[in-house]
Chains A and B, each alone.
Chain A
Amino acid sequence: MAQALFLLIVLIVGWFLYNNMVTRLAAGNTSSGGALNWDFLNGTAGFGISEGPTFRPEESYGRAYLVGVANTLRVGIVGVILATILGLFAGIARVSNNWLLSRLALVYVEIFRSTPLLVQLLFWYVGVIAALPAIQDAADLAGVGYLTNRGMYLTWPYITASGQQWNWWLLAGVVLGVLVGWIRKRQLERSGRLGSGWLAGIVTFAAVALVGFFVVYSTASLPANTAYEIRRGDRGTLFADENGNGAFEPDVDRTLAYVPIVLFDADGQELAVGATEGDGTFRFTDLPAEAMTLTWDTPAPIAISEPERQGFNFRGGLSLTPEFAALLLALVVYTGAFIAEIVRAGINAVNKGQWEASRALGLGTGATLRMVVLPQALRVMIPPLTSQYLNLVKNSSLAIAVGYPDLFNVSRTIVNQTGAEVQGILLVMATYLTFSLITSLFMNWYNKRVALVER
């Protein structure tokens, strides 16, 4: 009876709210344009997205949103990994016997837990990163890359156009590595020795990858239909001409990344040597605007791309935008402080006798921590750790404060252009709920795996 009444009230309130919304939408006294449908997702976006998977303004709103989702996942996954590492070290430092170190860790935890993430994010973005040197006098990180107020440019290895086959070798290496690691672990367990077999797995993976590298290097070649296009004299694209019409069509043709190229003028005189970028483009400066031809070489499966200054920007290498760097830094430092407390509580939850027993067996502090204490502490740590990971992903929505194009920021742009307020909010909420669900499921599975097996 009570339930029926409750259900009735919920339905009436829900109907009241929905009815108001429909009336107001129809009256058009808001920015939303009337009916609730999802057609707007197919419309042409007309705006660019500065980072993440390549996105062109002529693509649809739906794809723009997916690019936003990818950007959220990018900052979320990297953030979770780095925050875990930072939190683990800070948490261990918190329980260290060294008074100074444990106090220092305590100060870190208290400062960053007690101030809002948004203030930290704005501080990193406006206060720290914007205060870095300008592009012209970029701070040189001794060959690793450059640090500027427009972002960080790192020397980075990339898989080249001829490295696609190598991906299969890498995959085979992972599968074989896991298999060998598992066999080794079983073998070690049966013979009663310490160890987990991961070393054998990694060696196997490295061996397969190395063999694959040389096999691919010696056999790979660029597609026979490789063609190039030069625009404006000094820049162009190298691509596999899938339909053989000689013109570069981004929807059909596959671009060729990191291919070494040599540029000749009409008389066969060598003009410049270089390589294509990750998107298959190449660019030379100070060249005569006349007919030029291009030759190319088959690249190694991996190319080390170094950032190079060109005018007022850098080309090549891995570039991290200030927005991404600030958001990542803020999320990692903030969440790391919470994880440190979880790690501390987890380690303290392990019975002191475990430390003493391990000491009595002759294990050192590091080995005790790694093989005795942390595996037991992990059981206590997993549920709160899960909620911290979820918080990190949810907090990445603060990206809108610095202009990083995460899913929420992109959704606001879409809503502002189409007026689809209700749908935009629903879409974002559904996406975050999906993330929560997937993370919870994974962590629950992991929790079961490490839980004590009782009779």
Chain B
Amino acid sequence: MATDLQPTTWVNTNHPAPARKPPASEVGVLGWLRANLFSGIGNSILTIVTLIALYFIVTGLARWAINAFWEPIWVNRKVFAVGLYPAEQMWQPAAVLLMVSLLFGLSAGRWGNIMRNLGIGLGALLVLLAVIPIGLPAQMVMAASVGLLLGGYLLGQRVAISSTWLAVAWILSLPVTFILLTGGINLPSLGITWSFAPLVENNLWGGLMLTMLLAVVGIALSFPLGVALALGRRSNLPVIKYFSIGYIEFIRGVPLITLLFMGMTLLPLFLPSNWGNPSQLMRAMVAITLFSAAYLAENVRGGLQAIPKGQYEAADALGLSGFDSLRFIILPQALTKVIPAIVGQFIGLFKDTSLASLVGLLELVAVGKSVIQQPEWLGVPGGVAKEVYVFIAIVFFIFSYGMSFASRKLESKLGFGKR
């Protein structure tokens, strides 16, 4: 009887048929094509029309690029890089490049994140320039820069370098760059003249070097002013608040080129006559710094607004003074938050420095204009303007797109914009 009650294990012997593979039209290359390019009649027509347009664009561009006359760019590569900087003193710009590479390497190793992304981009560019036969000394400098970048990176990762010291090194790198490029310190109005090499007037600086310098100076020098204006705009004191608002809105309301012309023609007027006239480069830098400060202030304000009120209250509760709470609690958080925005502003400023060509500085675009007019290329049918401007556009594109790519990588890593 008990057998009736014996538990029986029930096993399903009736196995279901093994799952069939999805039809070939839904997976793999075919499936992807169907989903993304030929999902309907309208979409298919769109794809075909786009393909035809693409065919004409790509073949047209390729044909042009092959037949184009690229010699002026190759011949003038030194001018595009540093302008009229004396050839026998090229070690000075090279030293600046080596210094910046080392600092980039150390920062990438120490801080990672965006510095690491930017460092990778810089490294790739330097490797490319070291491989292209632009001239043996220059290639060696590029190779040495790659070495310093890598070495700095490894050092920065292994050794705990003080962040403060690294930041101080970055800040000092700016005056050091100026001293290196000038070949000393030359301030006749203050009675200082000291040199370790023949002095190089800054109207000889040019090319990509000057473009970079203008953009870096524009961001770096505008930093203190921009932060002050951002704090001023949020201040409770009406005089300071409205002064900041007035300054920011005024600068943002006028084109950069009017400020550059103002710097060129009016800046000397505003200085005492016994100070002499500042150089073209100085005037442009003042204009770009004043311009950049207003935009930086708005970016920093965005960061300040993103700090929860609780942070201020907590700082107050800890008994920090207003200045200390700003320095230790609010600004570090706010500035970290706005790094991507500041990178974006740097990219914009980098592109905007091309306007300096209109006020007589020999930056990249101005070099291009003078190359186009060189008598050697007069016989080229159609001129060499297209080639030169396309080259300049490519240079700007590599830097702008590289920087925005590095910054976007960081944004996606930190999860910005994914809410």
Contact = CB atoms under 8 A, between A and B. Distances in A.
Interface in B282-333: none
A432 B386 contact: no
A30 B264 CA distance: 12
Given A127-B385, A127-B389, A100 B50 contact: yes
A398 B255 CA distance: 9
A433 B389 contact: no
Contacts of A224: none
B187 to A, nearest CB: 19
B396 A116 contact: yes
A133 to B, nearest CB: 12
Nearest to A394: B255
Interface stretch (B138-146, B154-162, B238-246): B238-246
B145 to A, nearest CB: 24
B113 interface: no
B47 interface: yes
B395 to A, nearest CB: 9
Interface stretch (A45-53, A164-172, A422-430): A422-430
B253 A432 contact: yes
A290 B253 CA distance: 59
Contact of A408 (B47, B258, B266): B258
Interface in B361-419: 365, 368-369, 372, 382-383, 385-386, 389-390, 392-393, 396-397, 400-401, 404
Contacts of B53: 104
Interface residues of B, number: 56
A433 B251 CA distance: 9
B368 to A, nearest CB: 8
Given A3-B240, A17-B270, A118-B357, A104 B54 contact: yes
Given A3-B239, A111-B397, A401-B358, A20 B270 contact: yes
Contacts of B254: 394, 428-429, 432-433
Given A98-B47, A408-B257, A119 B396 contact: yes
Contacts of B392: 119
10 contacts: A3-B239, A20-B269, A23-B273, A30-B268, A100-B36, A101-B46, A119-B389, A119-B392, A127-B386, A398-B257
Interface stretch (B17-25, B71-79, B347-355): B347-355
Interface string A395-415: 101101100000010001001
A335 interface: no
Contacts of A27: 273
A437 B250 CA distance: 11
A118 B54 contact: no
A114 B365 contact: no
- Nearest 3 pairs of A and B residues by beta carbon: A99-B36, A127-B386, A114-B400
Given A104-B54, A114-B397, A117-B354, 18 more contacts: A3-B240, A6-B239, A23-B273, A101-B50, A111-B397, A116-B351, A116-B365, A116-B393, A116-B396, A123-B389, A397-B255, A398-B355, A408-B255, A421-B265, A421-B266, A422-B266, A433-B253, A436-B253
B393 A115 contact: yes
A116 B372 CA distance: 18
Contacts of A179: none
Contact of B382 (A131, A394, A415, A422): A131
B355 A118 contact: yes
B37 to A, nearest CB: 6
Interface in B50-97: 50-51, 53-54
B7 interface: no
A353 B393 CA distance: 41
A2 B240 CA distance: 9
Interface string A1-35: 01100110010000001001101110101101000
A97 interface: yes
A390 B255 CA distance: 10
B380 to A, nearest CB: 12
A114 B261 contact: no
A350 to B, nearest CB: 14
Contacts of B390: 123, 127
Contact of A119 (B39, B255, B354): B354
A30 B269 contact: yes
A127 to B, nearest CB: 4
A428 B266 CA distance: 14
A428 B383 CA distance: 35
Most central of B240, B253, B355, B404 by chain A CB within 10 Å: B253
Nearest to A29: B273
Most central of B269, B271, B355, B369 by chain A CB within 10 Å: B269
A126 B372 contact: yes
Contacts of B51: 100
A335 to B, nearest CB: 14
B163 interface: no
B393 A123 contact: yes
A157 B257 CA distance: 37
Contacts of A101: 46-47, 50
Given A122-B389, A123-B393, A428 B258 contact: yes
Contacts of A111: 397
A230 interface: no
A437 B254 CA distance: 11
A120 interface: yes
A347 to B, nearest CB: 15
A439 B206 CA distance: 38
Contacts of A385: none
B272 interface: yes
Interface string A104-117: 10000011011111
Most central of A20, A25, A119, A398 by chain B CB within 10 Å: A119
A436 B37 CA distance: 43
Interface string A83-103: 000000000000011111100
Contacts of B389: 119, 122-123, 126-127
Contacts of B393: 115-116, 119-120, 123
Interface in A369-407: 390, 394-395, 397-398, 400-401
